[in-house]
Amino acid sequence: MLYVRPLSDNELSDLEKLTQQAVGRVAERSWYVLMSNKGKSVPEICEIFNRHPNCVRKWIKRYQAQGINGIQDIQRSGRPPKVNEQTKEKIDEIFKKTGIAERFVRRLKEMLHLRTWINIEELLIILEQIALTERQTKIVEHIISNGRITSSEFQKMFKISRQAAHKEINKLIELSLIEPKGTGKSIYYVLK
């Protein structure tokens, strides 16, 4: 009979957290180990989870050999999603319509090539939702040209109040396009 080795309090705590926080399969694997620790045999665990004994044995053995990392899902290779030209053109169109500078178009295209987890449809919806105002576009363009912008520079550009300037700046911070640097009166904003 296969049983997991006696577990320390830390190991028990980590496994119990996984049963609550981990995604489906990892949580289930944690239960295999916890039940084995409590004296349940492999056939008993199989009956509870409706799994084959080889499956349960495999995860108990992996846990014994590698610890908590042994029951985690490993990154799987797979065919990366292909971004067709039509989708790229649609992204370019949205960026041009919203007035975001070319630098952001390039950054997005790099993300599409480097990160396979981006859902293109969701990304297009988000891009349409973040349509920048003319003022916000000018802020981004000013930062690209000059490396930074202050609130007072922005107020002077559009002859607007400090509150109005901060509203536009805060929107860009929310969108993670710019970030503040410095403190107090010497605060300025740069591209993120």
Judged against a pLDDT cut of 70, whether residue 121 lies above it is answered with: no
For each of the domains in the chain, give its residue range(s) and CATH number, in order of start: 9-71 (no CATH), 85-129 (no CATH), 134-191 (1.10.10.10)
Give the distance from CA 1 to its chain's centroid.
42
Looking at residue 58, its pLDDT comes to 92
User: Which residues have CB under 8 Å from 1's CB, separation 6+?
Assistant: 41, 42
Task: Give 38's DSSP letter.
Answer: T
Integer Cα distance of 187 and 108 in angstroms = 28
Label each residue of 54-115 as H, E or C: HHHHHHHHHHHHHHHHHHCCCCCCCCCCCCCHHHHHHHHHHHHHHCCCHHHHHHHHHHHHHC
Q: What is the pTM assigned to this prediction?
A: 0.41
- For the chain, what's the residue count? 192
Planar angle of CA 143, 148, 152, nearest 5 degrees: 105
The amino acid occupying position 105 is V
How does pLDDT run across 123-140, given as a tens digit for each residue?
Answer: 555 555 556 777 777 787
User: pLDDT-derived band of residue 120, with 50, 70 and 90 as boundaries?
Assistant: low
Judged against a pLDDT cut of 60, whether residue 169 lies above it is answered with: yes
Residue written as token pair 């300025």: 188
Integer Cα distance of 187 and 91 in angstroms = 33
Of 2, 11, 8, nearest to 40 by C-alpha is 2
In this prediction, residues 48-53 reach a mean pLDDT of 88
User: Which residues have CB under 8 Å from 26's CB, separation 6+?
Assistant: 18, 71, 72, 73
Task: Give 149's DSSP letter.
Answer: B
Burial class (CB in 10 A: 0-12, 13-18, 19+), 15: buried
In this prediction, residues 128-155 reach a mean pLDDT of 78
Q: Are 158 and 139 in contact (CB under 8 A)?
A: no
- Which 3 state secondary structure label does DSSP give 190? strand
